[in-house]
Amino acid sequence: MSDHSLASPPPKRRFRIGRRVLPYLLSMPALLVCIGILVPFVTAALYSLQRYRLSQPWARKYNWGENYLNFLSDPSFWNTLKISLVYAGTTVTLELFLGLGIALLLQKRTRFNNFVSIMLLMPLMTAPVLAALMWKLMTNSGFGILSYMVSLLGIQDFRWASSPDTALLTVVLVDIWVYTPFIMILLLAGLRSLPSQPFEAAALDGVPRTFVFWKITLPMLMPYILTATLFRLLDSIQQFDIIYAMTQGGPGDKLTVFQVEAYLNFFQSTNIGRSAALMMILWAITFVLSNIFIKNWLKLRERAR
Amino acid sequence: MRENSLIESWLRGIAIAVVILFFMFPIVWIILMSFQTNETILRIPPSVVFEPTLDNYRALITGKLETNAASLDIAFMRNLGNSVLLSVGAVALALILGVPAAYSFARHKTRFSEDIAFTLLSFRFAPPLLVLLPLTIYFQKLGLSDTYFGLIWVYQLICLPLILWIVRGYFEDISEDVEYAYRIGGHSWFSTFRKIAVPLAGPGIAAAGLLAFIFAWNNFIFALVLASADKQPVTVGALAFVTASGIQYGQIAAAIVLSITPTLLLALYAQKYLVEGLSLGAVKG
């Protein structure tokens, strides 16, 4: 080994200089992409402080916090906030319980269970827009298979996404279909990575299974549950694809969650100032959530290394 | 005890059956629908007995739809081509930018590099419209709004954090001693990176690339906001198709099947790495 290193030419000088600059040089492209994305971010922040409507370009001026102040007395803003929180809360809670339940069902490493868990990945790998379109076909009032099934149950005229009473239920159902596998697959990996000694000891002592679940399984699984939940919460409060494809925020303003409302403000009422202010508020919410998330995620990451 | 466990295994079996039914049924139903004519689709009650037809796929592939009233042009194949081009381009660019950066973040940890890595990660969770809305205005000014490049660049928001954080984890798992030994042998930094680090992290890089492809393919909002009509991928195209020809249900189903097949196949192929990719490297499957 040492002979070989002696025989070979000494490392060239330019690499010694390079070593200090190299890390910076290598991360430069990634840095440039960051800057390229931070510029529009700052622009959006500035727009949010302006009176800016595409229909009245002459009236464009800084009105500072007026867009935000207007929200306080704007019922449609409170509707957006409420529906976004309800949507995120409902989907994530239901997906967490379902995902945990399915993960527990598939916990044992049998060939069948592995096969099922791979099959369940399919909804997750379907583009959410396309998933919404699939469910739109299935809930079509003329020929949809689900509409037909509901009518067999004796419920006539169940109009799924087109009725204000059931629109939320329908999009939540699609969200559950797409994203429950996400929580399931993370918790399954968590369950299977738990050390086996505590469970063997409990079984040896004849500890009841419910007790084992509440006192051993659940606490040990908590970091995974927390990470999966926060991850989903961050995505769900920003949901756009499913709702836009299914109802475009309707019927009426029933499902105008943050991103849908901002999209409609920008492209339909061309009120860019209000749209940007909405996005800044959503960003503030996700910023807080993502900081909590990253802390948990880092802990799990350390453990996985 | 014995009876108890028998009941339990029955309940388990039923629960798993219900789970499989709920998650698989929509996909199976859409596939069945894509092989039916509109007449059989519109039958009530619905039935799984029908004469399969390839007409829907034929109409999509030839781009011509003959109806009683008129002949309709479908641009769906173009959407499919755009999806391939955009996703492959975005992943290629993300690999070129991301793999060296991931290597540098794994080997030379500085405040600066950590800050960039976390900024990129935080993009993963920022609301996309926040950046996209100002970008529509910039894109018009810069003349990017009608180009593939503009979209591929914006797709880095999805692909780059994924690649950076997963590949970084794989590089961290490689012992530095191996690289050091190779360097002692008089090899340059670059050839160490190319001949030792990248091949050892190869499976991770491939998996991250496949996942980034899937996420780019499934993306909707970026292209909805930024892509002009002839640059739209399948996600936007399928929705436009539904709006344009809302009654051609068989073709819509076939279009959905064609659009989801690539990602489903890739996911099956890369399933071993999916858990790690979905959690950005925090959970190993």
Q: Do B135 and A224 touch (CB under 8 A)?
A: no
Closest approach of chain A CAs to the CA of B4, in angstroms?
13
d(CA B59, CA B248): 11
pLDDT at A207: 85
For residues A106 and A98, the answer to whether their CB atoms sit within 8 Å is no
Closest approach of chain A CAs to the CA of B108, in angstroms?
6
pLDDT at B196: 81
For residues B283 and B166, the answer to whether their CB atoms sit within 8 Å is no
pLDDT at B4: 66
pLDDT at B246: 65
Residues of B in contact with A280 (CB under 8 A): 130
| Interface contact B185, partner A, CB < 8 A | yes
Q: What is the CATH number of domain A74-304?
A: 1.10.3720.10
pLDDT at B272: 81
CA-based R_g, chain A, Å: 26
Residues of A in contact with B126 (CB under 8 A): 41, 283, 286-287, 290
User: Could you say which of B126, B133, B164 has the minimum Cβ distance to residue A30?
Assistant: B164
pLDDT at residue B45 is higher than 80 = no
For residues A227 and A186, the answer to whether their CB atoms sit within 8 Å is yes
| Interface contact B32, partner A, CB < 8 A | no
pLDDT at A16: 52
Q: B66: which strand partners?
A: B71
Q: Which residue, B104, B122, B121, is CA-closest to B113?
A: B104
Closest approach of chain B CAs to the CA of A192, in angstroms?
8
Q: What sign for the dihedral angle of Cα B26, B29, B34, B37?
A: negative
Residues of A in contact with B17 (CB under 8 A): none
- How far CA B255 is from CA of A130, B67, B237, B240, in Å, comes to 10, 17, 9, 11
- Whether the bond into A208 is cis, omega within 30 of 0: no
pLDDT at B181: 82
pLDDT one-digit tens code per residue, A161-194: 888 888 999 999 999 999 999 999 999 999 988 8
- Name residues of chain A where pLDDT drops below 70: 1-20, 305
For residues B122 and B130, the answer to whether their CB atoms sit within 8 Å is no
Q: Do B188 and A120 touch (CB under 8 A)?
A: no
Residue A222 token pair: 């908590």
CA dihedral of residues A133, A136, A137, A140 (deg, nearest 10): -160
Which of A49, A130, A234, A256 to mutate against chain B (most B CBs within 10 Å)? Answer: A130
DSSP string over A153-215: TT--S--GGGSTTTHHHHHHHHHHHHHHHHHHHHHHHHHHHS-SHHHHHHHHTT--HHHHIII
Residue spans per domain, chain A: 13-47, 74-304
All CATH 1.10.3720.10 domain ranges of chain B, comma separated, are 77-278
d(CA A228, CA A24): 33
Beta strands in chain B (DSSP E): 64-66, 71-73
Q: Do A37 and B98 touch (CB under 8 A)?
A: no
H/E stretch holding A261: helix A258-267
Report the share of chain B in percent with pLDDT over 90: 29
| Interface contact B245, partner A, CB < 8 A | no
Which of A143, A193, A240, A283 to mutate against chain B (most B CBs within 10 Å)? Answer: A143
For residues A34 and B120, the answer to whether their CB atoms sit within 8 Å is yes
Please give the residue that has the higher pLDDT: either A242 or B39: A242
Mean per-residue pLDDT for B209-237? 91
Centre a 10 Å sphere on the Cβ of residue B245 and count the other Cβ atoms it contains: 15
User: Could you say which of B30, B44, B153 has the minimum Cβ distance to residue A143?
Assistant: B44
Please give the residue that has the higher pLDDT: either A259 or B49: A259
**Mean pLDDT for chain B?**
85
Q: Do A190 and B164 touch (CB under 8 A)?
A: no
For residues B176 and B200, the answer to whether their CB atoms sit within 8 Å is no
CATH superfamily of B77-278: MetI-like (1.10.3720.10)
pLDDT at B81: 92
d(CA A19, CA A23): 7
For residues A99 and A228, the answer to whether their CB atoms sit within 8 Å is yes
pLDDT one-digit tens code per residue, B114-163: 787 788 788 788 899 998 988 888 888 888 877 899 899 889 888 988 89
pLDDT at A278: 92
Which of B116, B279, B280 to mutate against chain A (most A CBs within 10 Å)? Answer: B279
Q: Do B283 and A304 touch (CB under 8 A)?
A: yes
For residues A294 and B121, the answer to whether their CB atoms sit within 8 Å is yes
Enumerate residues 6+ apart whose C-beta is below 8 A from A163.
A251
Question: How many Cα atoms are found within 13 Å in the side-chain-facing hemisphere of B66?
Answer: 3
DSSP string over B145-208: TT-HHHHHHHTHHHHHHHHHHHHHHHHHHS-HHHHHHHHHTT--HHHHIIIIIHHHTHHHHHHH
For residues B21 and A116, the answer to whether their CB atoms sit within 8 Å is no
Closest approach of chain A CAs to the CA of B71, in angstroms?
23
Residues of B in contact with A193 (CB under 8 A): 283-284
d(CA A182, CA A179): 5
pLDDT at residue B167 is higher than 80 = yes
H/E stretch holding B222: helix B221-226
| Confidence label for B250 from pLDDT (cuts 50, 70 and 90) | confident
